[in-house]
Amino acid sequence: MTLATPEAVPAPRRTAVGVRATARIQAAVRGGTTTLPVLDGDGPFELRRLRSRGTEARVCVVGAMSAPLGGDRLRIEAAAEQGAALHITSAAATLALRGRTSEHATYDVRLTVGEQAQLHWLPKPLICAAGSHLRQTWTVDLAPTARLVLREEQVLGRAGEPPGHVASRLTVRRGGCTLLDQQAAYGPGAPGWDGPAVLAGHRAVGQLLIVDPAFEETPPEVHLLGGAPEGGQAVLAPLAGPAALVTAVAPDGLRLRHLLDAAHRLRHR
């Protein structure tokens, strides 16, 4: 099933400072359907090609080793070229752990979507275990006619443990102009993160971003979701540009996913 042969996947390089790994995915249209000319796993990222759905190519990121740990420098680059349809998931939640060093780990995701192309980036959640320290970025470049669905979920601590520290930045550009720029910092050392303005005791936080040029004609409407204090809450709202952003907080990852899925269904009705 996997395109990457065992020889093509370098042996994980875990040194005293951690693993350095960059996985690459490239989707392009060949003969009316999306193919994957590049599917290079690296380090903790093993890439599996899944059965295509229609003309869409599907890739699953499988964790080949425990990561990110302190000191790791991890990167995934995915590009959907003109007209391609690419769907990326992950097999399991990503667990950030402290590792052997208290140094932070980095996990950078670079997504590029060409004209008339679409990309779904829908991995399982990131769990920030006690003592972990992660800096995560998503940098997305969209052509003006590109479409994107991006979900990110952060669960702060495994059940019954305090959270690790996570700092993230999501930057989305469309036709070279910034559409969304958002940073977040949670866990020990982030001032006010658990207070009533930011998370107020919620341990799961996530977003679903939908960019679609059709929103230029018909912007998405505001929807409020949840509301029962024990179930978490969310809002689906239009950005200043042609995009809908769902922002959700919940007591745990399961209830967070319920909110994000409910919001996603609103967009598909």
Q: What's the distance, CA 255 to chain centroid?
A: 18
Answer for the pair 267, 220: CB distance below 8 angstroms, yes or no.
yes
Q: Which stretch binds other proteins (CB under 8 A): 17-25, 45-53, 79-87, 236-244?
A: 236-244
Q: Can you tell me the distance from the alpha carbon of 251 to that of 199, in angstroms, rounded to the nearest whole number? A: 10
Is 137 one of the binding residues for other proteins (CB under 8 A)? no
Contact between 32 and other proteins (CB under 8 A)? no
CB 153 within 8 A of CB 116: no
> Can you tell me which of 20, 169, 264, 267 binds other proteins, judged by CB under 8 A?
169
Under the binding rule (CB under 8 A), the answer on residue 102 touching other proteins is no
CB 97 within 8 A of CB 132: yes
Q: How far apart are CA 202 and CA 137, in angstroms?
A: 22
Quick check: 197 binds other proteins (CB under 8 A)? yes
Among residues 62, 190, 262, 266, which is the contact residue for other proteins, using CB under 8 A? 190
Q: Does 181 bind other proteins (CB under 8 A)?
A: yes
Amino acid at 151: R
Stretch of 23-31, 63-71, 100-108, 228-236 lying at the interface with other proteins (CB under 8 A): 228-236
Q: Give the nearer residue to other proteins in terms of CB position, either 22 or 182.
A: 182
- Rule CB under 8 A: say whether 218 interacts with other proteins: no
176, two tokens = 């070279």
Is residue 238 near other proteins by the rule CB under 8 A? yes
Q: Binding string to other proteins for residues 240 to 269, with x set by CB under 8 A, is what?
A: xx---x-xxx--------------------
Torsion angles phi and psi, residue 267, rounded to 5 = -75, -15
141, two tokens: 């470049």
Q: Which range of residues in 21-29, 115-123, 156-164, 175-183 is near other proteins by CB under 8 A? A: 175-183
CA dist., res. 45 & res. 43, Å (int): 6
Q: Is 235 in the site for other proteins (CB under 8 A)?
A: yes
Q: Say how many residues touch other proteins, by CB under 8 A.
A: 39
Residue 75, both tokens: 């990167």
List 8, 178, 216, 261, residue binding other proteins (CB under 8 A): 178
179 lies in the binding site for other proteins (CB under 8 A): yes
Do 142 and 175 meet the contact criterion of CB atoms below 8 Å apart?
yes
Strand 45-53 with 133-142, pairing: unpaired
Residue type at 262 in one-letter notation: A
Please name every residue paired with 47 in a beta bridge, in sequence order, or none if there are none. 61
Does the footprint of other proteins cover residue 210 (CB under 8 A)?
no
| Cβ nearer to other proteins, comparing 40 with 108 | 108
Nearer to other proteins, 76 or 249 (CB): 249
Rounded Cα distance between 145 and 175, Å, is 9
Q: Shortest Cβ distance from residue 202 to other proteins (Å)?
A: 8
Structure-token pair, residue 206: 């996530």
Report how far residue 8's alpha carbon sits from residue 77's, in angstroms, rounded to the nearest whole number: 17
Residues of this chain that bind other proteins (CB under 8 A): 169, 171, 177-185, 190-200, 202, 205, 222, 224, 229, 233-235, 237-241, 245, 247-249
